[in-house]
Each structure stands twice: as structure tokens, then as C-alpha cells.
Structure 1
Amino acid sequence: MLEFTDEERLIQSEVQKICENYDNEFWQEKDRNAEYPMEFVQELGEHGWLGTVIPEQYGGAGMDTLEASIILEEIAASGAGFNGSMSCHGAMFIPRSIINYGSEEMKKEILPQLASGDKLLQCFALTEPNAGFDSTAITTRAERNGDTYVINGQKTWCSRIHASDYMVLVARTTPLEEVSKKTNGMSLFLVDIEDAKEQGAIDTAEIEKNIRAAVPSYEVWFEDLEIPAENLIGEEDDGFYQVMDGLNEERVVIAAEAVGLARVAIDRAVKYATEREVFDRKIGANQAIQHPLAEAHARMTSARNITYQAARAFKEGRDVGEAANIAAYMAREAASDATDAAVQTHGGYGVATEYDVERYYREARLTHIAPVSDEMILNYISEHVLGLPRSY
């Protein structure tokens, strides 16, 4: 079983206190109206949690993926589910691009604003309609013109752009046909979203989804967007490797969120099973109810262990690729099993919004697609862990 340090338990406690201010009705309303929980995010910022991974010298908490995972798990487990954890998810890993690769001038200007919550960096623009998971196939272009870069292209599935002041954008600085390796020629840029709007160089459209979400996603178009050359993050043409460096971290925090989702689904199901009476007995006395929940708890606990194994490996600077991918895969499986069992436990009420478990069920399904699909995770394990031939 997991053991947390006193400091880690304090983080859990402090985050739980904030979450207690936002009840089931709050999250049901956000889900029903597909409304971003800005007041919740702002309170996290006021307490310094949006600056979790930002170094202390720039006003942040100086923590790491481990503490970010604890925070996001507790948010999801509080009842907020993914509507809560995904609303601040980006703040826990997107700033890494600046922390790891940004110039000192960029760090001094941007990171303190993010740490205080005065500004938000919650949007990462990588995916394109004709590229999908093949990030090397992106065509959004950034061309150097003196002291500026001029950007043209399209991105999709950009979450939280409506609630962000800045965006990290991945664009080609060298066309695909001119590079020796297709992973070369991409670069990272920091985009001031308000400045882009003032230029009239950015347009967005929300993607309509049948699965409601308080964290909407957008298509984004760039037309002759000019950004200062100093907004280049890291070295020109090395962006692909910088992106890959951060994806394992995102897999770890997503795994923690899925674990939190599994936890709250099991908790709600157990509560209902100990209160609901049918045929003059609590339904929780029936093995048909007990066993699926016990199995879900076992899977959740196993996924939680591998998730924090990966988080500690990341914190200690050890290779995290295998653990991060397995954690992401096992946690989403655990979330699906737990939410399915919770819906089944509730019977007909399992699809009633007042009990929340139908929302958790919907949210668990999303984890199998984003930010990376089950198939891509299994591809990684097949090739890099088992040593099988590359399949794509």
C-alpha cells in the first residue's frame, strides 16, 4: 500500500479543504452548462497551487510531478471528477516547456505571473486535423522574418484556450520535405493570446461534443500571426524532442486524475450500496454488488501504486517512460471498471445526474482517447519495453 510523507499528506489535506467549497451541485451545473469552473481555478491560484511545478526562484512552490499528481488526484476524488482536475491540469505540466527550455528573460517575465495565478498558461497547441497522433506530420508554419516569426496554420483539440492568457504552440520552422529526419524542423513558441486577437490573426471555434464537458476544446486558425523572435522556446528545429520530453509527465498526471476518478466512483457506489434497501436488505450485502466493487478497488489500488512509482521516478530523475505509459494505461482501465461498477450499483439511478456516477462514467471513457490513445500507449510498450518491431 502507498505511504505518503507528512508533507505529501499536508498537500492532500490543503487541496481537500479547497475542494470542500465546491459541492456536487456546483459540478453538476458546470457539467450541465458545459461551463468552465473559473472560480475554482482562481481559488487554486490564490493558494499557490497553479505554481506547483514552478521553481521557487520564480515565485512557485518548487515542487514536481509527484506533488502535481497528488493535487490532481485529490481534486478528481473530491467529486469534481475530470471537470475539476482537467480545468487546472495544464498548469501542472505545460509550464515545463518554459522551465526546461525557455530563456532566462522569458522565465523571469512569465513564470512569476503563472505562479501567482495572475496569468494562465493552460493551452498546448500541437494536434492538427490532418496529423492526429502523428505529430511529425504537422504543417502549421512559423517563418522567420527579421525579429519576428510569422505563423500560419490550424490546430485542433486545443483545450482551455478560452481560459488561457498564453499558449505553447508547436509549428514547423523547416518544412517536412527539407529535413533529413521527419522529427526535425519543429519548434516551440510562446503565444500571447490577447495580442494574437488584437492582431486579428487568430480565430477559434468550439468543437461540439455529445459528451458534455466543463473543459471545452477548440479548433484554432492562425493567419499571419506575428510573434517576437524571443518567444521561441529552446532551440529552433528541436521542438519535437522538447515535446516528447514533456509527454511522459502528462501521462503521469493523467493517470493520477484517472485514479481519483476511480476512487470517487467507488466511494459513491459503496455509499449507495450501504443505504439502498431492496427485498428488505441492503443491496451492499449481495455479492453481485460487493464483488465488482471489490475488483474495482483492487484495480484502482494497483493503478495508484504504479502511478506514484512513475511520479517518484520522475522526481528522482530516473527513466520514466515504461512506468508512465503503464500507469496511464492501467489507471484509465481502473477508472472505466470503477465507473461502470458504480453505475451498475445504482441501477436505474445510475443514469440520473443527481448521483453523479453517470458523469464519471462519461469522463472515464474520454481517458482512453486523450491525451494519447490506448493504442499508442500499447505501441510504446510493444516497441520500447518488449523490443518488438515498430508497427507504425
Structure 2
Amino acid sequence: MDFALTTEQEDIRKAVRALAARFDDEYWAEHDQAVRFPEEFYDAFADAGWLGIAVPETYGGGGLGVLEAALLLEEVAASGAGMNGCSTMHLTIFGLNTIVKHGDEAMRSEVLPRAADGSLHVCFGVTEPDAGTDTTRISTFARREAGGDYVIDGRKVWITKAGRSQKMVLIARTTPRTAGAKPTDGMSLFLVDLDEGVASGQVELRAIPKMGRNAVSSYEVVMDGFRVPAAARVGEEGRGFRYLLDGLNPERILLAHEALGIGRAALGRAVRYAGERVVFDRPIGQNQGIAFPLAEAATRLDAAELVARHAAWRYDEGLPCGREANMAKWLCADAGFQSADAAVQTHGGMGYAREYHVERYFREARLLRLAPISQEMVLNYVAQHVLGLPRSY
């Protein structure tokens, strides 16, 4: 068993760390507070070619695997950028996997090079107000007309970066759900022109005020008679849910590494503060009540990292990785949040103040226990698919 990263992978980490260091905590705090997209950061990573790290070389990308992409996002998060930084690019990295695998050549040639060079923003439209985690319950419907075009009506919610995206990977029903039918049948995947929909008045975007990760906004997307050409459909009609599954494991793996990065950023600040802050004539880090939670955080992060690395390796080797990807997401989200919580506690009252930044890490780490899938739904997966227990939902 070889746990060492390759020279190329270590070089990726170093290069990303150096570039991310140009954008300090003050930059991210300012953009989070102002609800302002980090243009300079995004452009810097686009210019350096990082956005296309997992896009095939044929289409202008780096052609690397999920592990390399995960290392990139972990370093971004660990720099202090957290989810605000990672969310500018992780949809480009994992969300286009379905286009790579199932889109036709015209679609791949149109989208992938522009996504790789940063000139095209893409969002991912799955979640709905009345469906949530149960994607089989989506009600957004794409009706095919005699001429071949589709007309889409419905709503999506929590769509990251929709306000900046020209395209959206969208799942919608093309066949009504009927009794006795498999609930995942009858859904189709589309790559739709969001800009065109907004300009025509067929699509409305509504920003969602939220607790954290404010530099990259989330939206409700309302579609009313949104007309899209048949060429916008990805692959075969009715097989969209199966195509969607190709993105779920890499998504969990990437988000797991982002959680690790946030946890390490929070831990680093807490350790420094514990060594510098003097109370009762001694640094507070000398007290076990402060030191032990930080030591536990480091231990949990290191253990979670091993599972996350294993999941990424299995995916890149073409091996089944549902078990590992889900466990990695659960463990990393838990470890990252525990680390951020310990960092706030270490700072005491100042941990609640924006100037020390750990409150921002706390808010962003909390998100990863909810998204892209809740901790409880991961345990449902493990109980059913790993332990063989009866399905609970």
C-alpha cells in the first residue's frame, strides 16, 4: 500500500497553495460580507488553467483525475477561501462529468473548452422546493412539442452560481410518474441556455439570502414555458437519472476534500491563537481543556483524509466507490465541522467576531453537513447498501 502522492500531485498542491495565498482572509471576509463574487480569484485560477483540471485534454483541459481535482479544492479551502473559493469552480470540475460521458460531440465541443478556460460558467439544476433529497419526486416537466423542441415548466432551488451561469445542467421529467413504474424512469437531462431563458422572460432567478458562503450566491430558478431545442438534451430521453449518478460519487469526494481544507484552515488559526493568547500568565494552549479538542480535531482530520484519498483513488481506477465516497463525505464533513467548532471555542468570545475569521469557517463547515447530501442520508446509504439492512425511506 503506497500512501505517498506522486511528484505531479505534490506539485499541484504547491502551485495551488501559492496562487491561493494571493487572496487572504480579509479578501474572503470582505466578499462574503458584501455578497460579492470573487472575480479576481476566479480569473486568476482560470488564467492558470486550473478550472479545466479534469476536463479531457482533447477539449483543452488537463485530463487529470478526481484525486488531482480534490487536492486542488482542498488547498483552495485550506487557504482560507473555504466554500466561497471552491464554489466558484467545483461545479465546472464535477458537474460537467455527465457532458463528458453522455453528451454528443457537438455539445462537448461547444461547452468543455469554454468551461476549461473559465469563459463559461455552468450551474447544476437538480434540487426542488418540494422534492429536496428525493430526486425521484421532482415535478419540473419538459414537454416535447411536435417540432421536436421541449417546453419546460418548474422550479429549482439552491442552485449555486445560477446568477453568473450561461448554462445549466438540468434534470426534468419527460414522462409523468405513474403507479408501478420505477420512480427513476422518465427523467431526462438537459444542458440549457440559462442566459437566453432569462433574456426571454421564460426564466426568473431569485437570490436566496443565507447564513454563509455568501460570495457565491444560491438561487431559486423558476421556469415558465422555457423553450429549449431537442439538441439540448443530454443522451437518451428518460435516462437522465442514470446519467446524473455519474456525477454523485465524484461530487461527494470533492466536497469531502473541501471540508478537510476548511477544517485545516480553522485548526491552523486556533493553534496559533492558543499559542499566543496568554491568560493567568500562561498561553491558553497549555491547558488541556484547550489543547485536547485541537488535538482531537487534528486526529479526526487525518483519519478522514485517508478515507477521502482512498475514495478518490478508487474512482480514478474505475473501481466501485459508492461506499468509500459516501463515508468520506460523512467523515470529512464531521471532522471539518468539529475542527471549526473547536476553533471558535478556542478563541472564546473573539471567536464570534468577524476579525478572527473562524466564525466564517464555522458557517461554511456547517454547510457541508447538509450538502450535497445530509449526514443522515449518507447513513441511510451505508445502512442499506453496505450493511444490507432494510431500506428506511
The TM-score normalised by the length of structure 2 is 0.97
Q: Which residue of 2 aligns with 1:13?
A: 14
Alpha-carbon deviation of 1:211?
A: 4.0
Which residue in 1 is equivalent to 2:57?
Answer: 56
Residue 154 of structure 2 aligns to a residue in which SS?
strand
In the alignment, structure 1 residue 94 sits paired with structure 2 residue 132: no
Instruction: Measure how far apart 1:180 and its partner are.
Output: 2.0
Q: Tell me the equivalent position of 1:214.
A: 215
Q: After the TM superposition, which residues 93-242 of structure 1 pair with which residues of structure 2 at under 5 Å, given as runs?
A: 93-121=94-122, 123-145=123-145, 146-177=147-178, 180-211=181-212, 213-242=214-243
CA offset at residue 125 of structure 1?
0.5
Please tell me whether the aligned partners of residues 83 and 213 of structure 2 are also in contact (alpha carbons under 8 angstroms).
no
Deviation at 1:348, TM superposition (A): 1.3
Deviation at 1:327, TM superposition (A): 0.3
The one-letter code matched in structure 2 to 1:84 is: G
**Matching residue's letter, 2:339:** A
Aligned equivalents of 1:322 and 1:182: distance in 2?
A: 23
Q: SS at the partner of 1:142?
A: strand
SS at match of 1:188: strand
What is the correspondence of 1:344-355 to structure 2 with a 5 Å cutoff?
344-355=345-356
Amino acid aligned to 1:291: F
1:216 Cα shift? 1.6
Cα distance, 1:2 vs structure 2: 4.7
3-state SS of the aligned residue for 2:89?
helix
| SS at 2:107 equivalent | helix
- Between the aligned partners of 1:335 and 1:370, the Cα distance in structure 2 is 13
**Structure 1 portions without partners, runs of 5+:** none
Aligned partners of 2:213, 2:25: CA distance in 1, in Å? 16
Deviations along 1:301-320, one digit per CA (max 9) or x if unpaired, are 01111001000101100001
TM alignment of 1:206-355, pairs within 5 A: 206-211=207-212, 213-355=214-356
Could you say if the C-alpha distance between residues 379 and 127 of structure 1 is closer, same or farther in structure 2, counting changes exceeding 3 Å?
Answer: same
RMSD: 1.3
* Contiguous gaps of at least 5 residues in structure 2: none
CA shift for structure 1 position 223 = 1.1
Is 1:367 the counterpart of 2:368? The answer is yes
Q: Under a length normalisation based on structure 1, what TM-score does the superposition of the two structures give? A: 0.97
* Contact kept? 1:32, 1:212, Cα under 8 Å: no
Give the letter for the 1:323 counterpart: E
Q: Which moved more, 1:341-350 or 1:80-89?
A: 80-89
- Listed one character per residue, the Cα deviations across residues 350-385 of structure 1 (whole Å, up to 9, x for unaligned) are 111111111111111111111111111010000000
Native 8 Å contact 2:29 2:357 kept in 1: yes
Aligned-residue offset at 1:213? 2.0
Q: Shift of the alpha carbon at 1:157?
A: 0.9
Once residues 213 and 117 of structure 1 are traced to their aligned partners in structure 2, the CA distance between those partners, rounded to angstroms, is 21
Provide the C-alpha distance between the structure 2 equivalents of 1:103 and 1:75, rounded to a whole number of angstroms.
Answer: 32
**1:134-173 deviation per Cα after TM superposition (whole angstroms, max 9, x unaligned):** 1011111111222311111111111111121211000001
Q: 1:2–1:268: structure 2 CA closer, same or farther, 3 Å change rule?
A: farther
In structure 1, distance between residues paired with 2:94 and 2:213: 24
CA offsets, 1:222-243, max 9 Å, x none?
Answer: 1111111111111110011111
How many positions carry a matched residue from both structures?
391
| CA–CA separation in structure 1 for the residues paired with 2:304 and 2:366 | 17
Tell me the equivalent position of 2:73.
Answer: 72
Distance 1:99 1:178 in 2: 33
- Secondary structure at the aligned position of 2:4 is classed as coil
Measured in 1, the distance between the counterparts of 2:118 and 2:7 equals 26
Give the corresponding residue for 1:379: 380
